Structure 1
Amino acid sequence: MKTRRRGATWVAPAVALLACLLLLSGCAGRGPGGGAGAPQNAGGEAQAPGPSGGAEEPAGPETGPGSSEDADPEQEERRTARILAVGDLLMHLPLVYASALPDGEWDFTPLFEPVRPWIEAADLAVANLETTLTGPDYPWAGYPSFNTPPEFARDLKAVGFDVLTHANNHSLDYLKFGIEKTHEALERYGMPHTGTARTPDEREEILVVEPVPGIRVAVLAYTATTNWIPLPEPWSVNLVDDEQMPADIRRARAREDVDLVIVALHFGEEYAREPNDEQRHYVDVALQAGADIVLGSHPHVIQPIEVRQVRDEFGRDLPRAVVYSLGNFISNQEGLYREAGIMMLIDVAKEGGVTRIEQVSFVPTWVHGYRAEGRQRYRVVVVEQSLRDCEAGLDPLLTPADCQRLREVWADTTRQAAGSPEVAVWSVDLPPQHPRAQAVAPGSS
């Protein structure tokens, strides 16, 4: 839980080098206006929401050598952490307008209110900031050059996000000035972030966060495209490649104070539902370099989650968690696939000096556009919960058309996201802070 979290720690390049020595080692949206299955076990056919059965607990081999300098690894108590990852925070202008207050201030928290308990319950919540926070020097804007009020960072932190990645095709929408202003806004509101840099030294820093005492996570981010905008400086935006990216990952992996490595990759073809050869290649590059978790974004639709077996430097075949695309978490894009996203949950444990991925699961989400008090509004909802609210008539904001769209989203997302049998669909019969996911039983009603 976040009450145990110590917060993010920035680590300078010199410290990273010392650790290595010690170890010897398109986004166009719809106009203002509202939008959009049935539960299933991973890889199965869609079923109606209903009671849940227990999920098989996948094997959890080691993810790498995490150790404490002073503690005997064999005597360490078991520590656990839940990582939550979501996709694109793609802030089209209607979302900004919907968050404006009468006094000229901003409140973006209602966008996330239905999913806030899930974000807050995670020990580490990560999202892709696919906008700039350039500030009022330029007009607020959506596609094609995004500029969202800096208070968006404040409100993302308020609803429970812990780390933002911002290496993506909109990082350079306002060139070097936009990167500088975005950094200033994120730092003003105490939001750890990674993916772009203002200086060469900043480029070499590795973001390390400690979501629970004794489990330290390195987070790195890279993009395969900057929308054809040349880098202002070679170190301005981290790029997906075969040289620098794996070198960074190996440097993070080699650190004695890192137990887990997360790599966010902004890549692939927009609106493609399956990963292409380039995505598969760079996932392989990241995993072979030492990534434990790879978080994909950019297609704006969901692509599969996989549990991949990778042989580490000690000759152990270990599972790694990969999602090729998390889809849109919040956007104003229209269409069944682009309105849908997931909250990916990765449960890890550290015991005896070894950190393991124990379970991978996901929660389907949907961006609901609706009208209230004469204004267009938006919110991210948990699909299964909203379906139950539809059936019970508990949510007056959901229309019959919304309920039908939710059924379609559920059926598609639960089929699309589960790319490996180890991946479970989280049931809302369990609260967000429950220690285990639970696959929805096939044939339930």
Structure 2
Amino acid sequence: MDGSELERILGRLRSGDVRALARAVSVVEDRAAGAAELVSACRKEAKRALRVGVTGPPGAGKSTLVDQMARRLRAEEKEVGVLAVDPSSPYTGGALLGDRIRMQGFEGDGGVYIRSMASRGAMGGVAEAAEDVCVVMEAAGRDVILIETVGVGQDEVDVISLADATVLVLMPGMGDEVQSLKAGVMEVADIFVVNKSDREGAERVEAEILAMQSLGAARTGWVPPVVRTVATVGEGVGELMDAVQRCAAETRGHHEPAQLRWRNGGLRLDHLGVAVKSISASKGFYEALGMVVAHEETVEHEKVKTAMLPLGESRIELLEPTEEESVIGRFLAKRGEGLHHIAVHAEGIDAMFERLKAQGVRLASDAVRVGAGGHRYFFVHPASTGGVLLEIVGDAREVGA
């Protein structure tokens, strides 16, 4: 996928073109040619959406509940993406429920984009490409993404790596199933929903959840609430969405659940910077592994050429000096080719810079600068990190913040 085609797709995504979104999601899900470049470009464009995971056993009413959540969000004029991970067909490999026949009534509403994905045997109830699909939806301007998992029981814990809030849907009449779920998915829930709560036994389910919470390991910060709903008529959905918003606010701030979510304090691994004498000579190895160079650029003020190879949510960044008397040139002369630095992505990079400086952390940068891809960055000296040069990277959109 060349640069002009990539820019054309991104332009259509920015404009809200639903067909372009559907096509981009297909490219990413199928791992088609250009998928890595597309995801990398979308990641730079995307504004993080509120991601809500909805999981639980079959028959609990997850799809109906997701439908009602989407309706409420649309009433608030939110752009919604629904990612429903369904079982795979043994014959075609596709999602058995196709275009989500259980969710009806959004025809003609471009503000709701519903996509079914086959689990394709992925453990944990979430397809391997789900994270990349979320990124594409975010690049298309979706404010909230609802992620519904297969519904296979206690193995459905991977959704926590995608979601800002994980909702576990249970229902009356499960009997000992609540106890059997405890060892798995019960422990990752941020919000418990007792759906079909107009049925007999709703009080018992709620009591069992509360009893299990009291017996479990203590967690500081967020305490998972129990919300009763009747999804078929929308009852309790407002209370559920309020709980989701509160949970996301906690998660994106100081709170970290016991499951050690990947978005630890708003940080994530951005890339590994590798100093090389020649990008053209070095990238062959990575291409042999199946990695693809998504972007190459020369950063004049750093006197370095860069090549970025996406690797999941992060990437490897090859660094070739344009002058011997540059940071990378001197590194190569002293140590030879190898790992130069580790970079983490931070939300609110300006505040991070000021906070570290105020705390006496030794910084290797005198200000936040603009680097490859327009992203902003600064370096922390190895003296403060245990011997590793650490780069803090922020989004390009924060310029002037």
User: TM (normalized to structure 1)?
Assistant: 0.28
Q: Going by fraction, where is helix more abundant, 1 or 2?
A: 2
Q: Which has the larger radius of gyration?
A: 2
Q: Going by fraction, where is strand more abundant, 1 or 2?
A: 1
User: TM (normalized to structure 2)?
Assistant: 0.30
